[in-house]
Amino acid sequence: MSNEQQYKITSSIKQLFSSDSNNYIFIYTPPKVGSTTLVSSLRISLGKSYNIIHIHDEVMLSVLTGIQGISVNDIIQYLASIGKYVYVIDVYRTPLERKMSEFFEKISPYHFNNNEENINHYSIKRISDRFNKIFPHIENNDHYFDKYNIDTPIPFDFEKKYTIQVINNISYIKLRLCDTHIWSSILSTIFKTDIVLITDYQTVNKKIGDLYTRFKSEYRLPVNYFNFVKSCKYLNFYYNKEERYKYLNFWKNKTCETFNPYTFDEFKFYMQICLENQYINDVQIEHYIDNGCFCKYCSLKRQDIYFRAKNGEMNFDKIIHTEVINNVKEIRNKKILQFIKTKSNKKYIINQFAIHLK
């Protein structure tokens, strides 16, 4: 490793992580597989004891750090080489549902260049037609296979519902989105700490949520796309025979006639037009319930959310440093005003009593 590359890696680490812990967790996944829920759950549950970063690819790494010329794997392997405890987590999601979610993630700023309130009035036919045109071009890669540089991924453990493969002191963990209901138990076992699940950033909870729910219910899959799903190597790897049969049979009963999608060049031109016409900002600020601040007040709110989640609560305000501090100041000012008011009342009563004695 050259001195320049090592400098880039160490600089990136300083920008990505704020805790002094020797433990590192990379939620290194494709988009729309439930990774935001993982990030918020682990941050709330583990606090400062682990450095936690959410990353999809090198483009995102460059945006977060401003540094180019290194990969996510470079950082992971460097940390392991200097004795840090490194975990890398990926999540599998079934191909159709993942494509749908990714399509709806950008339906407003890219695919229709309109606000969500207006798009909510579009017909399912119109939404389906656009989705089908770009269907083959929506990502379906798998980081465990395609990004981690693992020569031979170990078979998925269908009994435990997760796998851990340790290579060069790096623990690669594979989960499935369909097992979200037991993620808390799985993660608690892996990290030997009681992990609470904080459901975060679900499409159904957005303004476009009702349309998304209707689309999933009413959409009919072109038969040529069904054959694509059926032959998906990731589905065949992460779902056992019974699970595949149930999943494929569900969609087989919802097929329709074949559909001719955009060619590669047509899709490329389509995306060029989408980006040129885009007027809606799709940059997400303060994306997570827990944005990772470790100041005294954010840590106290984190602790409060943790215990409330353990008691079964599901809806939480985000831990946004400026809002937390403003809330603390507001509460403090109210207490001061109440104190002054109480003191003033006492003085008034004493004065009235003195007047009465006269």
Of 12-26, 95-109, 194-208, 266-280, the range with the lowest mean pLDDT is: 194-208
Cα–Cα distance for residue pair 311/123, rounded to 1 Å: 41
- Does residue 333 form part of some domain? no
User: Which domain range does residue 145 map to?
Assistant: 3-310
Helix extents (H) in 253-295: 264-277
Pairing of strands 170-176, 163-167: antiparallel
Helix extents (H) in the chain: 3-16, 35-46, 58-65, 72-81, 95-105, 116-119, 124-134, 143-146, 183-191, 209-218, 223-230, 233-238, 241-252, 264-277, 296-310, 321-357
Q: What is the number of alpha carbons within 13 Å of residue 104 lying toward its C-beta?
A: 26
The alpha-carbon radius of gyration of the chain (Å, integer) is 25
pLDDT reading at 339 higher than 90: no
pLDDT reading at 222 higher than 70: yes
What is the three-class DSSP state of 71? coil
Confidence tier at 302 by pLDDT (50, 70, 90): confident
Identify whether the C-beta of residue 163 lies closer than 8 Å to the C-beta of residue 281.
no
- Average pLDDT of span 196-224: 84
Cα–Cα distance for residue pair 280/264, rounded to 1 Å: 25
Distances (CA, A) of 165 to 59, 159, 175, 211: 26, 16, 12, 39
Q: Give the relative orientation of helices 95-105 and 223-230 as an angle to the nearest 10 degrees.
A: 120
How many other CB atoms sit within 10 Å of the CB of residue 200?
Answer: 21
Residue 346 pLDDT: 56
- Does residue 278 form part of some domain? yes
Confidence tier at 304 by pLDDT (50, 70, 90): confident
Identify whether the C-beta of residue 31 lies closer than 8 Å to the C-beta of residue 103.
no
Q: How many domains does the chain have?
A: 1
Cα–Cα distance for residue pair 116/105, rounded to 1 Å: 11
Identify whether the C-beta of residue 50 lies closer than 8 Å to the C-beta of residue 79.
no
Assigned token pair, 170: 């790096």
pLDDT reading at 324 higher than 70: no
- Average pLDDT of span 335-354: 58
- Average pLDDT of span 59-63: 87
Identify whether the C-beta of residue 172 lies closer than 8 Å to the C-beta of residue 150.
yes
Of 49-63, 155-169, 224-238, the range with the lowest mean pLDDT is: 49-63
Residue 355 pLDDT: 55
pLDDT reading at 328 higher than 60: no
Residue-averaged pLDDT of the chain: 87
How many other CB atoms sit within 10 Å of the CB of residue 49?
Answer: 13
Cα–Cα distance for residue pair 101/85, rounded to 1 Å: 33
The conformational region for residue 281 under phi > 0 = left, psi -120 to 50 = alpha, else beta, is beta
Residue 27 pairs in a beta bridge with 54, 89
- Does residue 196 form part of some domain? yes
- Does residue 216 form part of some domain? yes
Write the DSSP symbol of residue 110.
I
What's the whole-model pTM score? 0.82
Residue 280 pLDDT: 76
pLDDT reading at 285 higher than 60: no
Q: What is the dihedral of CA 327, 332, 334, 338, to 10 degrees?
A: 160
Residue 125 pLDDT: 97
Cα–Cα distance for residue pair 244/175, rounded to 1 Å: 17
- Does residue 332 form part of some domain? no
- Does residue 348 form part of some domain? no
Place of tokens 């069904």: 226
Cα–Cα distance for residue pair 186/179, rounded to 1 Å: 9
DSSP string, 286-333: S-SSB----SHHHHHHHHHHHHHHHTT------B-HHHHHHHHHHHHH
- Does residue 201 form part of some domain? yes
